[in-house]
């Protein structure tokens, strides 16, 4: 990582990107931070500050070119990379992710599936064969996998993470509700669904 940019800023970039796409669909070619902010419930100052972190993308008195800014954000986010995913743990959630259409539109594709349940090894999901975890290293090489998605139970997640690291994974997207230890150079994003649901429960409990 070149420079330290706040997590909050990084997490807002996909929202800007998404909105610019919609604006492009609406044939709107110029947008102000004011309008972007209105669509996203984010202050215009915040948006300008976030964008200014990466360069000068707008024109004073005018606004931002929708197509141009969209492409620049795609570049910053690395969405032109056509990342290849492997999903480890083809239960309900893993299976759903294997079929998830939104990924494709962001440039991600699922190229491999792994599971240790002998009953499903060899079967296919969305046209992709499920392999035993022991095949990971071999398949990672042939399929050029970039990202490992962990959708196994928490108790097995660390072992899977170790296998992924050993197979040369470049990044990990973890859905198991547990802390993982992986080398610092490998980006890891935790997607713990129980946090959001518990937070919702908390807010519903406050009268």
Q: Under the rule (CB under 8 A), what is the footprint of a copy of itself?
A: 1-2, 7, 10-11, 13-15, 17-18, 39-41, 76-79, 81, 83, 92-93, 95-96, 99-100, 102-103, 106-108, 146-147, 170-173, 177, 179, 187, 189-207
Nearest CB to DNA, comparing residues 1 and 101? 1
Could you give the string, one character per residue 40-79, with x where binding to DNA holds by CB under 7 A and - elsewhere?
---xxxx-xx-xx---xxxxxxxxx---------------
Please return the burial class of 174, using the count of CB atoms within 10 Å of its CB with bins 0-12, 13-18 and 19+. Answer: buried
Nearest CB to a copy of itself, comparing residues 24 and 135? 24
Nearest CB to DNA, comparing residues 64 and 108? 64
- 117 lines the binding site for DNA (CB under 7 A): no
Report in angstroms how near the CB of residue 206 gets to DNA at its nearest: 16
Burial 59-92 (b: 16+ CB within 10 A, else e): eeeebbbbeebbebbbebbebeeebbbbbbbbee
Nearest CB to a copy of itself, comparing residues 159 and 195? 195
Please return the burial class of 103, using the count of CB atoms within 10 Å of its CB with bins 0-12, 13-18 and 19+. Answer: middle
Report in angstroms how near the CB of residue 89 gets to a copy of itself at its nearest: 12
Contacts with DNA in 129-188 (CB under 7 A)?
none
Alpha-carbon distances of 123 from 21, 136, 140, rounded to whole Å: 37, 16, 19
Report in angstroms how near the CB of residue 118 gets to a copy of itself at its nearest: 21
Q: What's the rounded Cα separation, in Å, for the pair 82 and 86?
A: 13
Residue with tokens 């610092």: 184
Q: What's the rounded Cα separation, in Å, for the pair 93 and 194?
A: 13
- 3 lines the binding site for DNA (CB under 7 A): no
């Amino acid at each position: 990582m070149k420079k330290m940019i706040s997590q909050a800023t990084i997490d807002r970039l996909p929202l800007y990107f998404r909105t610019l796409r919609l604006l492009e669909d609406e044939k709107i070619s110029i947008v102000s931070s004011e309008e972007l902010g209105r669509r996203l419930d984010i202050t215009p100052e915040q948006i300008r500050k976030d964008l200014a972190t990466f360069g000068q993308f707008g024109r004073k008195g005018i606004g931002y070119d929708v197509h141009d800014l969209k492409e620049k954000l795609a570049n910053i986010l690395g969405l032109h990379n056509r990342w290849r995913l492997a999903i480890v743990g083809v239960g309900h959630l893993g299976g759903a992710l294997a079929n998830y259409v939104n990924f494709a539109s962001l440039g991600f594709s699922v190229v491999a599936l792994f599971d240790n349940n002998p009953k499903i090894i060899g079967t296919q999901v969305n046209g992709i064969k499920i392999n035993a975890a022991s095949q990971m290293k071999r398949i990672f090489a042939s399929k050029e996998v970039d990202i490992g998605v962990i959708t196994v139970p928490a108790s097995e997640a660390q072992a899977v993470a170790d296998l992924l690291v050993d197979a040369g994974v470049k990044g990990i997207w973890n859905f198991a509700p547990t802390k993982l230890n992986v080398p610092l150079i490998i980006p890891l994003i935790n997607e713990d669904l129980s946090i959001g649901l518990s937070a919702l429960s908390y807010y519903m409990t406050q009268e």
